[in-house]
């Protein structure tokens, strides 16, 4: 059950990252540069959360 929690967090953060990438590109072409910065920051933070969640999952799944 613990492993499902990690996978749910990973999938949600990846979805957020894809949506933020799409919104960043649309804002850039629409010349709304203040939105570009906001969406980029949110995308980077979701990537960081996803990466650290993956590391925690790997540590739980494959103990030494």
The ranges assigned to domains in the chain are 2-61
Distance CA 62, CA 47 (A): 22
DSSP label at 1? -
CA distance 23 to 48: 19
Binning the chain into helix, strand and coil, the percentages to the nearest 5 are 90, 0, 10
Q: Is 39 within 8 Å of 20 (Cβ atoms)?
A: yes
pLDDT given at position 1 = 62
**Rounded mean pLDDT for each run of 10 residues along the chain, 64 residues in total:** 86 95 93 90 95 92 82
* Per-residue pLDDT, 17: 95
How many residues are recorded in the chain? 64
- pLDDT at 20 (0 to 100): 95
């Amino acid at each position: 059950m613990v492993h499902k929690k990690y996978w749910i967090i990973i999938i949600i953060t990846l979805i957020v990252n894809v949506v933020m990438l799409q919104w960043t590109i649309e804002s850039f072409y629409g010349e709304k540069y203040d939105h570009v910065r906001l969406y980029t920051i949110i995308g980077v933070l979701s990537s960081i959360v996803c990466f650290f969640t993956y590391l925690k999952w790997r540590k739980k799944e494959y103990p030494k």
